Amino acid sequence: MTREEALDLVQKKVKQKNLIKHCLAVEAVMRRLARELGEDEEKWGLTGLLHDIDYGETMDQPEEHSLRGAEYLEEMGMPPEMVQAVRVHNEAHGLPRESRLDKALYAADPLTGLIVAGALIHPEKKLAPLNTEFLLNRYEEKSFARGASRTQIASCTDLGLTLEEFIGLGLEAMQGIDRELGL
């Protein structure tokens, strides 16, 4: 599947604009992580882009989210490692994350929310003026971006990255697509 085909599929299945932006942000972060870690950038990017393909249908059924998405990807003939990463990114299932792809998606998913929240509280409401230090300071505030699981984000150490490195890579990736994100 090409990136264009995947984006078209996301736009057909996901109706919420902010969720589409989230998928684009996770794609960008996953691509950047793949480059940093010497992994397949295309595979990691597509995994990020498609990871919430079922969320529009399962948002009221968290126990179904990611399982249904993995089924869709499997039916489309996507590589098993992509299917597995999508399946295990939802912590509700308690499934083990074993591959680097699994671990990267799990950590990257909430990171994008933390970064967006950082942009929204900044006076300019943009990603460009943000830096890693600003986000690290906000990361420590329990009331900031409550939906962004600190446990998931901190699991970046499973990839051999420090929290500072991980946030920096994620911010750089999202700043690279700031227009698409409207930030």
* CA 64 – CA 179 distance, rounded (Å): 32
Distance of CA 103 to the CA centre of its chain: 11
For the chain, the domain total comes to: 1
Range of the domain at 171: 3-181
**What integer is the mean pLDDT of 146-166?**
97
Six token digits for residue 119: 């942009």
**Low-confidence winner among 57-61, 67-71, 130-134 (lowest mean pLDDT):** 57-61
* CA 150 – CA 78 distance, rounded (Å): 30
Give pLDDT, residue 142: 87
Statement: residue 171 has pLDDT above 90: yes
Q: At 140, is the secondary structure helix, strand, or coil? A: coil
Q: Which residue type does 116 have?
A: V
State the CATH number of the domain containing residue 166: 1.10.3210
Give pLDDT, residue 6: 97
Confidence bin at 141 (pLDDT 50/70/90): very high
Statement: residue 86 has pLDDT above 90: yes
* CA 3 – CA 175 distance, rounded (Å): 20
